[in-house]
Structure 1
Amino acid sequence: MLSPQELGHLTDDIEKIWQELEDELLADMAQRIVKNDYAFPSTAAWNKRKLEEIGVQYDYIVRQLSRTLKLSENQVKRIIGESVHTAVDTDNLIFKAAAEAGLLESVADTSELISKFIADGVKSTNGELRNFARTYAADASRAYEHAIDQAYLQVTNGFYTAQQASQTAIEQLARQGITSAITPSGRREHADVIVRRAVRTGTNQSALKAQEANFFAMEAQLVEVTDHYGARPSHAEWQGKVYEWTKPGQQKKTSYPDFISSTGYGTGAGLGGWNCRHSFYPFFEGLSERAYEPLNTQETDRVYELEQEQRYNERMIREWTRRQKTLEAGCYDANKEREKVKEWKKRNDSLIKANPDVLKKNYANSKVAFAKRGKTVLEEFLEAATPKKGNIFFPDDYNRSIHKSEIKVAEWLLENFGGDIRLLSESKKQGVKTPDYDWDGKFWDLKEISTNAAADSAIRKGLKQISSNPGGIILDLKSEDIELPDLLHRVNDRIKRSAKGTLHVLVKKDDVLLEVIQYIKK
């Protein structure tokens, strides 16, 4: 099973690669537009010059696309490989428990079959991206051709000077960006949107196909579908329920509704279809505990609307940032665009602060725990909190002047979560590092990080410091450039290699708790 949160963030890195490609191509176009000479004695002379210019620019597009495709293909291989193994490994924990309880005769070895689904998924998704790249190259070239044609006509007709025409062409290019139409509806979209949909859909379908083969190889019968707040209305109807899944031609044996007909699994509009974040996992009566309770319809609708608003804000930030960068590349004033970026960021921040229960929480709502891998427990952590109940204790030899950050975080912990927090003095033994806190009888360590790459070292050191009585590690993010999905991926890798017991990782920025991950080492 892949959680809705995992599916929601697995394309973050690859989207950024394609956003950067569009920025680079637009910047190159803007610089070429400014340098062009639009004063030609005849249309024929201009067309000859234009074809030469388009040819040079197209070569640049192809080079940049080749580089981006190579990066993307490596990302797709990693994303699909990790996702399929995660989904199947999680299911297999349930199958093993069922076999131990006598509900299955044995656990089949499906490793070769799973490898085939990974290979097929990578091949199919990368093939789709390569096909799109050819379309995108042509669309980018046409965008440039249209811009320089516009500038030439305005200069030739005497409407503008060359400088004015260049600025007008660049402004239009910045507004429109580079878009492609690859859907039957003909709607034009930016590359990052198209790539996100292709990779997310390809990854989820690969994982689901592998889970399906695994499911029937184990001769299982029931599945529970994941759920999340903010699901599209048509999916909200069937999410979070248990279904019977039979092979074609087989008779139903239980009173549970049919999985295929209920969820539309296998169709573009159903579970696992276009941009879908739902998954499933095996369910055994008498063993499995329902992980998903029915969600409040009004709350689901509310979250859906808020998430749509947040996505719109993020698109506007992206659009005005694109305009700003393109104008700056052409050496034109971009103050208006810069202010618009700030305005939309402020609007989005206000939306998040006004709705922290929705836009900062994890709504995957999953209760399935698995060995050596993190489980999101943010909601449970907040529900168990006892804000302001408890005390902060300082040893007599504690040096408050050099531990202001530790004290500030201790005050934040008490204010928001409560408990007895004892700050610990540094060890006087050379080479021995003590944890920062004893929080309700468990050791915790604070690590401030400014880059994603620093997470591995921070976790490694923190684990060593709390190893004798692990409670957890608090990661305090000190930079806007840190990307949470990549950070959590790095944290998970280090925990799997080094952790020796159950612990939590709290991720905070400023005074906002972003995530709580529980690791259970079995």
Structure 2
Amino acid sequence: MMLSPDLLEAAGDSVAAVYNDIEARMLTHLVSSLISIENLDQQTATELNLLAQTHTAQLRGYLEDEAELISGEVRATAERLLRASDEDDLKRVGAGSPMWPQQVGATVEGVARILERDNLQMVEGAKQAFLSASIEAVTRVNTGTMTTERALHAAVRKLERGGIPIITYQNRETGTVTVENKVDVAVRRHIRTQIAQDGARMTLERIERDGIDLVEVSSHEDSRPSHAAWQGQVYSLRGEIEIDGHRYRDFYEATRYGQVDGLLGANCRHSFGPYRHGAPRAYEQSPEHPSGLSGAEVYELEQTQRHLERRIREAKREVRGAQQVYEKTGGLESRSALLKAQAKLKTSQSAMRDLIKEANAKAKPGTTVLTRRPNREWAGDMPKGASLKASGRKLDDFLGGAGASGTLKANGISMSAARKAMAEAMAKRGGTASDFAALTTKDQQAIFKSVVSALRNPAKVANAKHAAKTAVDRSARVYGRLEAEHVDKIAQLVGRGATAPARVYLRYENQLNLLDHAHRGTAHFSPRDVGVRINVANTYADARQPSMNTWFHEFGHHIDYLSTGAQDYTAKRAAGTAYGDMYASTKFKGNAFGRTLKAEATAYVDAVHARIKAEAAARLDALDLRRLRDDRMLSDATFQALRHKARLYQRVTSPGFDADGWGMTAEEVAAAKGYKKEIVAAAKKDPQYKEATKKQRAYDEVSREIRGMTDAQKADLSDIFEGATGAKVKGGWGHGKSYWDKGNGALAREAFAEFYSAHISNPEGLAVLRRYLPKSAAIFEDIIDAIEKGAL
């Protein structure tokens, strides 16, 4: 068996690539389960262990899905390498018949037995990894060292960074794992070892049959020191002998053949083949690398490359997990974690580029030391999520800038007060001050603007006309029939009028009219009666939305109407006032609010639709049929019909593909390269693919996205998106299709009330509105500013 070190090194790559895909699917499933655990702090270790066991069938299913592909890759690898080995032996011996066809079947069976064991160990490794990560998350939450969301982020990082191990020893009584290996590393080693050992046995059988006493051992310039001592030499299989004055050492004693640290032992890339005394030698003991670098230096550079390849695979898995969490929660912490994971991947890839560039700069002209090996950086399919934009500007840098510091000074706000308020605003968004850099420039400006509005000190502002009212007037008529606790809650939420919406509330407080405080129907504002009907007790004790949120919603409508005049609807109409001018929300700049709401919601759906179509097109272009099938964009029947041709196309078009090494003729390669057009055409005809790229899928996806939020987060957004899309988006809250008009007047009025109540009583909902509708949020604040200044 005389195979080149490079052939042996790459022996298990194609099978390992399939296992990397399986690992990616397993991790995606486990992360999804982990971030879906409810009441994380209440879970016991026993409950988590039981949960881990429930994944067994699904994890095994991923392996069963790829069983046929794995078997095919194993057979192709065995045939290619055993044939090359046998042909070299025949060339050295000079005569005989091929032995490799008889050996292939036995080798494939041997590998299958090993992989069957690996599969079981991989499933156990996956469950152990899930259990370890989830227990660690629970512990961190219960000890108070992390919030639930941060603990989940840490658990996902742990799970993705570690990957799924193949457990090779586990105590049956305690369950303690003492030996484990990475999936791709174990698979490569097992396949390389099986083929190398079977090839060696085939060689020894031929040598015995032909009465040959000598073997030549291969060599490579980057051999480890202990193997460099015996590589590239000729040895005797019959003990130490002398022929024509030349002494040949004993093969087994010199090379430790069959021992874990010897020839064909762990991670050994050497091989041997028959040799006749006096024949030309194929190898030398200390070969010089073409680059001119010493073997020791090449070895160290290659080991550094292997280390960076592991780092890149880990980083890719972390990105995939972080994106899952972000897509699930959409929170600021999740966004920040995803940005950090993406930055880590870019850093690792940059380090790889630098290593290869610097290593090759040392080489002789026209030669290289290292080359990029994409298959070794493969960590399964990477998500094709939309790229996130972040300003990267930290909070202190932002506040210290000339623009922000000048605005604070002009509004009588101290730097410390602003920093504290900004940190509180970040907390309401589900993050900390350290996450500020993860926001877009627009989001940073929006937070700053709201903080300035809340902290603005009229007494310290030059030319301030008067100090505003700073507390709820409990004697106001609107509170006459309310319980004390209801008024207390209103007073607590309005506070001292620190925000513009709160100041507007205090300004109109004495004009507010409560028509019915125990209304049995749906709460509403009546422009004909210029007042509100509401069940105050119910909104105070509301279990789905923040306490008194509906109060501020309906009185938001009231203030929207009063700001253009206190007359009732009939009087305004008699005076010739157009309906659109009866409310500040629709009067302001000719209903700019309604138009912007419509445009932003439409643009969001359009962006989702464009992403869906782009993802489908990109996956199809990359022949990523599995993800199309898994995301219900391609039928399973079409997937099964096309998957093998897709795999063959990807193989022949991959960098460094060696047709001879894979045993393919030029005609077969050319035919395989033509498969893509056939595959794409067939996939586009699939009814499921056609349906998946229609706009309805975008409406459905946005609907699911909103429904996945809490009631406090989604109620306002759901209603606005329903109105803006003609009820095509249904997030669980809304007025129904018939409520909305074509001119977006109802949309503007409802959105005004929703933004208004969110500003005063629902910070979670406000954060969501600002994230999805930033331009509309800014216009709402402009309307409030105009109301406050009387500048409508």
* Coarse TM-score class (shorter-chain normalised): 0.5 to 0.7
Partner of 1:272 in structure 2? 264
Paired residues, what number?
A: 370
Distance 1:216 1:5, change over 3 A: same
Structure 1 equivalent of residue 302 of structure 2:
307
Q: Which amino acid aligns with 1:4?
A: P
Mean Cα displacement is larger for which, 479-488 or 16-25?
479-488
What amino acid maps onto 2:275 in structure 1?
A: F
Q: What does residue 125 of structure 1 align with?
A: 111
CA distance in 2, matches of 1:216, 1:67: 43
| Aligned AA (1:355) | A
Which amino acid in the other structure matches residue 199 of structure 1?
Answer: I
TM-score for the superposition, normalised by structure 2: 0.42
Aligned to 1:175: 161
1:35 match: secondary structure:
coil
Q: Give the Cα separation in 2 of the matches to 1:329 and 1:39.
A: 18
Amino acid of the structure 1 residue aligned with 2:248: Y
**CA-to-aligned-CA distance 1:341-391 (integer Å, 9 cap, x gap):** 22222222222222234994599xxxxxxxxxxxxxxxxxxxxxxxxxxxx
**Residue 197 (structure 2) aligns with:** 205
Say if 2:317 is the partner of 1:322.
yes
CA distances 1:47-76 after superposition (whole Å, capped 9, x unpaired): 56x466434422211111223444333322
Deviation at 1:236, TM superposition (A): 0.6
**SS in structure 1 of the partner of residue 274 of structure 2:** strand
Change (3 A) 1:486 1:38: farther
Structure 2 equivalent of residue 195 of structure 1? 187
Kindly report which structure 2 residues correspond to 1:339-378, keeping only aligned pairs within 5 A, or say none.
339-356=343-360, 357=363, 360=368
Q: CA deviation at 1:89?
A: 1.0
Q: Which of residues 141, 159, 175 in structure 1 aligns to 2:127? A: 141
- Answer yes or no: is the 8 Å Cα contact 1:263–1:271 preserved in 2: yes
Alpha-carbon distance between aligned partners in 2 of 1:252 and 1:497, rounded to the nearest angstrom: 50
Q: For the residues of structure 1 that align with 2:281 and 2:316, how far apart are their CA atoms?
A: 47
1:483–1:238 Cα change, 3 Å: farther
Instruction: Kindly indicate whether the alpha-carbon contact (under 8 Å) linking 1:88 and 1:214 is maintained by their aligned counterparts in 2.
Output: no
1:389-418: CA deviation from partner (whole Å, max 9, x where unpaired):
xxxxxxxxxxxxxxxxxxxxxxxxxxxxxx
Query: Are 1:493 and 2:664 counterparts?
Result: yes
Matches within 5 A, 1:31-70: 31-38=32-39, 50=48, 53-70=51-68
Q: 1:43 to 1:94 in 2, by over 3 A?
A: closer
Distance in 2 (CA, whole Å) between partners of 1:120 and 1:491 is: 20
Q: CA deviation at 1:2?
A: 0.8
- Could you say what secondary structure the match of 1:37 adopts? coil
Letter in 2 for 1:342: K
Deviation at 1:213, TM superposition (A): 0.8
Kindly state the Cα deviation for residue 118 of structure 1 after the two structures are TM-superposed. Answer: 2.9
**Cα contact 1:80–1:206 (8 A) shared by 2:** no
Instruction: Give deviations 1:400-458, integer Å, cap 9, x for gaps.
Output: xxxxxxxxxxxxxxxxxxxxxxxxxxxxxxxxxxxxxxxxxxxxxxxxxx999xxxxxx
Give the whole-Å Cα distance in 2 for the aligned partners of 1:286 and 1:159: 73
Q: Give the Cα separation in 1 of the matches to 2:76 and 2:663.
A: 15
Contact kept? 2:233, 2:283, Cα under 8 Å = no
Is 2:223–2:295's contact at 8 Å kept on the other side of the alignment? Answer: yes
Shift of 1:243: 1.9
The 3 A distance-change label for structure 1 pair 71 and 360 is: farther
* Mapped partners of 1:241, 1:153: distance in 2: 58
Counterpart-to-counterpart distance in 2, 1:142 and 1:118: 35
Cα distance in structure 2, aligned partners of 1:78 and 1:155: 50
Match of 2:255 in 1: 263
For the residue of structure 1 that corresponds to 2:134, the secondary structure is: helix
Stretch deviating more after TM superposition (80-89 or 284-293): 284-293
User: CA, structure 1 residues 190+69, in 2 after alignment: closer, same or farther (shift >3 Å)?
Assistant: farther
**Aligned-partner residue type, residue 339 of structure 1:** A
- One-letter identity of the residue aligned with 2:265: G
Which of 93, 100, 103 pairs up with 1:95?
93
Of 151-160 and 60-69, more deviation after overlay is shown by: 151-160
Unaligned runs of 5+ in 1: 97-106, 364-449, 453-478, 500-522
Alignment of 1:206-221 (within 5 A): 206-221=198-213
Structure 2 match to 1:73: 71
Letter in 1 for 2:187: V
Q: State the 1:78 CA deviation.
A: 2.0
Change (3 A) 1:88 1:361: farther
Distance (whole Å) between structure 2 residues aligned to residue 264 and residue 62 of structure 1: 39
In the aligned structure 1, how far is the partner of 2:157 from the partner of 2:16?
24
Contact 1:65 / 1:137 at 8 angstroms: preserved in 2? no
Whether the 8 Å contact between 2:216 and 2:272 is mirrored in structure 1 is yes
Q: Which amino acid aligns with 2:356?
A: I
Identify the residue that residue 447 of structure 1 maps to in structure 2: none
Q: Report % sequence identity.
A: 24
Correspondence for 1:166 among 137, 152, 161? 152
CA contact (8 A) 1:110 1:214 kept: no
Q: Does 1:17 align with 2:18?
A: yes
Which structure features the higher share of strand residues?
1
- Counterpart residue identity of residue 324, structure 2: A
> Is the Cα contact below 8 Å between 2:56 and 2:123 reproduced in 1?
yes
Considering only CA atoms, is the larger Rg found in Structure 1 or Structure 2?
2
Between Structure 1 and Structure 2, the one with more helix by share is 2
* Aligned residue identity for 1:59: A
Describe the superposition over 1:174-196 as per-residue Cα deviations: whole angstroms up to 9, x where unpaired: 23322244279945321111111
Asked if the contact 1:222–1:243 (Cα under 8 Å) also holds between the matched residues in 2, the reply is yes
Q: Is the 8 A contact 1:69 1:130 kept in 2?
A: no
Q: Are the counterparts in 2 of residues 174 and 327 from structure 1 also a CA contact under 8 Å?
A: no
SS in 2 for 1:255: strand
> Alignment RMSD, CA only?
3.6
Asked whether the equivalents of residues 263 and 270 of structure 1 are also in contact (C-alpha less than 8 Å), the reply is yes
Distance of 1:133 and 1:212 partners within structure 2: 32
Alpha-carbon distance between aligned partners in 2 of 1:166 and 1:291, rounded to the nearest angstrom: 55
Q: Is the 2:652–2:659 Cα contact (8 Å) retained in structure 1?
A: no
Distance in structure 2 (CA, Å) of the matches to 1:116 and 1:490: 20
Contact 2:111 2:191 in 1 (8 A): yes
Say which is worse superposed, 30-39 or 80-89, in terms of deviation.
30-39
What's the CA shift for 1:87?
Answer: 0.4
Which residue does the alignment assign to 2:582? Answer: none
Match of 1:337 among 319, 336, 341: 341
Structure 2: distance between partners of 1:498 and 1:163: 50
Cα pair distance change 1:158/1:236, threshold 3 Å: closer
